[in-house]
């Protein structure tokens, strides 16, 4: 796999040896068991896969190269390049500005952006409408387009579905930048609709089977389907694609559900004429991180700490998975670990910050699960671990702990 040039301050001298060691003994990534690093009074259970993925490293390399190559020019990012506050703040400090926020609200008026400026397309991609707007302004975006290739893979699947006259069901969070981009590209290929979960899938399934009034479709999914969507004609052939960071199990459940609906409606012999087997369109990093988190659930631990941007979809799913077994805290960095007795963390479901007391148990040896999303720098993970270690003075140093774990000789 290609090696990217990313700033050294995103790297970690503690995490790198662990990842290199695991890669050397398991190059085919068949073992998703965590790495356990024992510091004495604290034991860190580190997920097999976490941190920057291919798409994120590609985006970071391109963004920093754009800054380096265009000194003196105005440089814009359409919206946050990735959902991580450390990365986005550093880009701002280097003079980069954002045109939109993560909700699509305007931060920089389009009238301020000219053909003399540099505009970077983020890893999530962008809509066809914005692409056309940039083109009308004479802005060249190909050189600094950081769209993740796994997002583009989903768009190619949408194209394939459209060519075969399937309507496209997108499993995703409608307001997420990636889903907005995918919905735009998908709608250009065929009638499309965005659904958030299996419950919404069942509403559509009931409408297909005549168990619900078709008018319910237009009210339940208002604003989330392409103009002119006709329930009678556009739910005869369907295929499922997804926002690449959704939970794999949920996307699979939704796809299998629509397959059973079409079998019930049209019969087993006709299924190929009404349902497209799209397979999984999640990115490899999302799959690896989620599989690694399922392996974490086989461990015994006192709590879990999940690190990443609060608006990171893939990180929130890891936190949800961890919370099925452990007392879990979603933090964006070490500063959230205020002291040994107090932590500030984020509840993704309510989009609210919480402060919890006595989150670390009062016992001789504490075991803590640690993982992060695909947009979190390894240096931030290390700093969170350092913060935890600072609360337990009778711990081994990091080099000794890595030696004892067999990571370094």
Q: Which of 14, 11, 10 is nearest to 402 (CA)?
A: 14
Q: Which residues pair with 43 in a beta bridge?
A: 38, 367
Q: What is the pLDDT of residues 36-67, one digit of tens each?
A: 999 999 999 999 999 999 999 999 999 999 99
Given this chain, do its domains 54-136 and 150-276 carry the same CATH topology?
no
Q: Which two tokens stand for residue 251?
A: 């996307």
Domain regions of the chain by residue span: 8-53+284-404, 54-136, 150-276
d(CA 68, CA 82): 19
Q: What is the rounded CA–CA span in Å between residue 185 and residue 178?
A: 11
Tell me what pLDDT residue 286 has: 84
Distance between CA atoms of residues 63 and 70, nearest Å? 11
43 vs 46: CA distance, rounded Å: 9
Task: Look at the domain 150-276 and name its fold.
Answer: Cobalt-precorrin-4 Transmethylase; domain 1 (3.40.1010)
Name the β-bridge partners of 241.
170
3-class SS shares of the chain: helix, strand, coil, % to 5: 40, 15, 40
Tokens of 68: 């380096």
How far is residue 139 from each of residues 75, 122, 133, 144, 307, measured CA to CA in Å? 12, 15, 9, 11, 36
Res 283: pLDDT: 78
Which pLDDT value is given to residue 1? 64
Gap between the Cα atoms of 198 and 257, Å rounded: 8
Residue reference for tokens 């070490």? 334
Q: How high is the pLDDT of residue 222?
A: 97
CA distances from 272 to 164, 171, 224, 238, 255 (A): 11, 21, 26, 10, 14
Q: Is 259 exposed, middle or buried (0-12, 13-18, 19+ CB in 10 A)?
A: middle
Angle at 136 between CA 132 and CA 137, to 5 degrees: 120
pLDDT of amino acid 15: 97
Q: Give this prediction's pTM.
A: 0.92
Which tokens is 371 given?
A: 């993982």
| Residue 82: per-residue pLDDT | 84
Please state which architecture CATH assigns to domain 54-136.
3-Layer(aba) Sandwich (3.40)
Query: What's the first-to-final CA gap in the chain, in angstroms?
Result: 26
What is the rounded distance in angstroms from the CA atom of residue 218 to the CA atom of residue 330? 36
- Which residue positions in the chain have pLDDT lower than 50? none
The predicted structure's pLDDT at residue 389: 96
Strand order from edge to edge, sheet including 192-195: 192-195, 167-171, 238-242, 275-276
Residue range 8-53+284-404, CATH number: 3.40.1010.20
Q: What are the pLDDT digits (tens) for 273-319?
A: 999 988 767 677 888 999 999 999 999 999 999 999 998 989 999 99
Active-site positions read 178
């Amino acid at each position: 796999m290609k090696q990217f040039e990313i700033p050294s301050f995103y790297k970690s001298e503690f995490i790198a040896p662990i990842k290199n060691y695991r890669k050397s003994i398991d190059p085919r990534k068949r073992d998703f068991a965590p790495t356990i690093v024992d510091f004495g009074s604290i034991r860190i259970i580190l997920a097999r896969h976490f941190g920057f993925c291919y798409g994120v490293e590609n985006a970071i390399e391109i963004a920093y190269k754009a800054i380096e190559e265009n000194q003196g020019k105005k440089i814009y990012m359409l919206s946050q390049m990735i959902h991580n506050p450390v990365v986005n703040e550093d880009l701002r400090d280097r003079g980069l500005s954002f045109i939109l926020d993560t909700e699509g609200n305007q931060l920089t008026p389009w009238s301020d952006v000219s053909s003399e400026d540099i505009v970077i397309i983020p890893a999530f991609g962008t809509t066809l409408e914005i692409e056309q707007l940039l083109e009308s302004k004479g802005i060249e975006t190909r050189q600094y387009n950081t769209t993740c290739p796994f997002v583009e893979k989903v768009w190619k699947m949408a194209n394939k579905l459209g060519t075969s006259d399937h309507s496209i069901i997108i499993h995703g969070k409608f307001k997420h930048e990636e889903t907005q981009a995918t919905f735009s590209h998908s709608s250009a290929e065929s009638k499309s609709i965005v659904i958030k979960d299996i419950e919404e899938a069942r509403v559509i399934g009931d409408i297909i089977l005549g168990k619900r009034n078709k008018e319910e479709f237009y009210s339940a999914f208002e604003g989330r389907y392409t103009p002119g969507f006709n329930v009678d004609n556009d739910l005869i052939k369907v295929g499922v694609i997804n926002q690449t960071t959704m939970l794999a199990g949920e996307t699979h459940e939704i796809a299998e559900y629509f397959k059973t609906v079409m079998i019930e409606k049209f019969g087993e012999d006709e299924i190929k004429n009404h349902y497209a087997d799209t397979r999984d369109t999640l990115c490899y990093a999302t799959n690896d991180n989620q599989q690694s988190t399922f392996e974490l659930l086989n461990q015994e631990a006192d709590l879990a700490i999940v690190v990443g941007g609060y608006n990171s979809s893939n990180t929130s799913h890891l936190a949800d998975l961890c919370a099925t077994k452990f007392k879990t805290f979603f933090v964006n960095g070490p500063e959230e670990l205020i002291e040994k007795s107090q932590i500030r963390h984020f509840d993704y479901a309510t989009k609210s910050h919480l402060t919890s007391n006595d989150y670390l148990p009062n016992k001789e040896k504490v075991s803590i699960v640690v993982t992060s999303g695909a947009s979190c720098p390894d240096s931030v993970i290390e700093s969170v671990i350092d913060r935890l270690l600072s609360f337990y003075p009778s711990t081994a140093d990091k080099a000794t702990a890595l030696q004892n774990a067999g990571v370094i000789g």
